[in-house]
Structure 1
Amino acid sequence: MTDRPEIVCLCGSARFVDELRAANRDLTFAGVIVLAPGEVDGPVTPEQKAVVDALHLRKIDLADRVLVVNPGGYVGDSTRREIAYARAAGKPVSFTDPV
């Protein structure tokens, strides 16, 4: 491990919570600092979704790279927006499954 571990921001649909958790665990054991989407149970108001979405973009800002967790190649609208944001910020983006 180097002086400063790599920081990876996970992106992906909330429907893939188990896969996101597995990626988080695997990266953590590999010595990576992981920034993951906030887990929200139950209904979310539009205002709460806006806060969570904005906060996740700040996590992308902090990351060295982005890993999109996309089983079966699925990438939804929110994740597509996060990918575009990361690329515009010059962050490398990779995927767990082919797109």
Structure 2
Amino acid sequence: MTTITICGSARHRDAIYQTAELLEEAGFVVLKPPLHRIDELTAGQAAELKELAWKGATFAHLNRILKADVVFIVNPDGYIGSSTTLELGYAVAHRKLIAAMMPDAHELARSVLFDLLLHCPDIEKAVSDLSKRLAPAVES
């Protein structure tokens, strides 16, 4: 069974959750980013606590990337932020297959790292296309 870790900006929170649900329905094991609202959760706490929370969330998601067969970047508008850039570099360093919905809107240096570029801003169609590409070849 193929394990897919989803990466993407928190600004795409709803799209990430929708993508995860559709991929699970298609039969994949899906690991999604926590997308915690750490600043809200740590409001009024010491700066050290906020830093530890961010560090823990970051390392937890990098561990999800290690467990994945495929890293899927959910970026329906082409946006890839700094956290997703970090995750992309980590996935490349660990030789993961990397798929993305859209090319990076501002930086070709990121887009060239995608193994599968779907050119599709629509969540349902992108999941369908990705599922077809990841389906094992049927022997005749």
Fold match (TM-score > 0.5): yes
Partner of 1:59: 64
Using the TM superposition, name which of 43-52 and 6-15 deviates more. Answer: 43-52
Structure 1 unaligned regions, length at least 5: none
Aligned alpha-carbon RMSD (Å): 1.1
- TM-score normalised by length of structure 1: 0.90
Residues 21-73 of structure 1, C-alpha deviations (whole Å, 9 max, x = no match): 11101100110000000131324412101100001000000000100011211
The percentage of aligned residue pairs carrying the same residue is 34
Structure 2 unaligned regions, length at least 5: 43-49, 105-140
Is the partner of 1:8 in helix, strand or coil? strand
Partner of 2:34: 38
- TM-score normalised by length of structure 2: 0.65
Once residues 54 and 35 of structure 1 are traced to their aligned partners in structure 2, the CA distance between those partners, rounded to angstroms, is 14
> Relative contact order (C-alpha < 8 Å, sep 6+): which is higher?
1
| The one of 20, 35, 54 aligned to 1:24 | 20
- Residues matched between the structures, number: 95
Computing the radius of gyration over CA atoms, which structure comes out larger, 1 or 2?
2
Query: Which aligned runs of 4 or more in structure 1 are off by greater than 4 angstroms?
Result: none
